[in-house]
């Protein structure tokens, strides 16, 4: 019976020893250090990946800003080009326009009994040319004759009292030459006694009708003939 305490103490000591060995085998200190190092390495790797992602985001934002600036510049250039094209189309007479201006009315006069066969009492294409040129000189920006728009390439010709503009049909008096532009400038030239000398002389001699009137808003149609320029060949 005296051996039982010794055996019990020995068994208890061995139990503590084996338990300590078991815990040491389950979580050895070296494994704990390795796991900690792996966690630190993972955190560091994630930090590097995060920094790289932030750098890519910053670079991408810069590229987007550059593309936006280029697109805006192209848009401004496109708008300026569209404005220039619009101005060219307007000056070429290819668009309908309206605005304040002046309307000149021309009508045939009466034949003279002493001038048999003379057509001086008729308004001719040269009279229309003179009026159109005078209106441009006075500040006209757009002109139409009896509804036919005049362009920089227009040709006015005819015979007798017939007036042909470009490829259009022959026009007969009375004529209305409508012009949009500087009303004061056009009115001043029309009223000048030195202007349209031949036409005003024939107005006195043959009662050719010549008059003009300003308007707050005149509408002119677009040019409807070809813009091709033809040249005479000898």
Measured from the Cβ of residue 181, the count of other Cβ atoms closer than 10 Å reads 20
Per-residue pLDDT reduced to its tens digit, 187-201: 999 999 999 999 999
With beta carbons less than 8 A apart as the criterion, state whether 109 and 121 touch. Answer: yes
Per-residue pLDDT reduced to its tens digit, 13-44: 555 555 555 555 555 566 566 666 776 677 67
Low-confidence ranges of the chain (pLDDT < 70): 1-36, 39-40, 43, 46-47, 50, 54, 57, 61, 85-91, 114-117, 226-234
Q: State the Cα–Cα distance between residues 159 and 108, nearest whole angstrom.
A: 14
User: In this predicted structure, what is the pLDDT of residue 182?
Assistant: 96
User: In this predicted structure, what is the pLDDT of residue 1?
Assistant: 52
pTM, rounded to two decimals: 0.63
With beta carbons less than 8 A apart as the criterion, state whether 186 and 135 touch. Answer: yes
């Amino acid at each position: 019976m005296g051996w039982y305490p010794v055996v019990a103490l020995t068994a208890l000591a061995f139990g503590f020893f084996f338990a300590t060995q078991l815990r040491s085998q389950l979580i050895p200190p070296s494994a704990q250090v390795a796991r900690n190092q792996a966690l630190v390495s993972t955190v560091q790797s994630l930090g590097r990946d995060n920094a790289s992602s932030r750098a890519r985001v910053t670079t991408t934002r810069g590229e987007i800003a550059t593309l936006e600036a280029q697109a805006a510049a192209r848009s401004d250039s496109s708008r300026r080009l569209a404005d220039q094209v619009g101005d060219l189309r307007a000056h070429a007479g290819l668009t309908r326009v309206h605005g304040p201006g002046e309307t000149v009315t021309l009508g045939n006069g009466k034949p003279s009994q002493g001038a048999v066969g003379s057509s001086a009492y008729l308004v001719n294409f040269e009279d229309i040319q003179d009026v159109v040129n005078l209106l441009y000189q006075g500040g006209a920006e757009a002109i139409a004759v009896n509804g036919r728009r005049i362009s920089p390439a227009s040709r006015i010709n005819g015979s007798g009292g017939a007036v042909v503009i470009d490829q259009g049909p022959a026009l007969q008096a009375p004529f209305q030459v409508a012009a949009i532009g500087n009303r004061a400038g056009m009115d001043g030239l029309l009223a000048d006694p030195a202007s349209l000398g031949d036409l005003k002389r024939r107005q006195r001699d043959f009662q050719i009708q010549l008059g003009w009137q300003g308007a707050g808003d005149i509408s002119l149609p677009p040019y409807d003939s070809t813009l091709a320029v033809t040249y005479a060949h000898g």
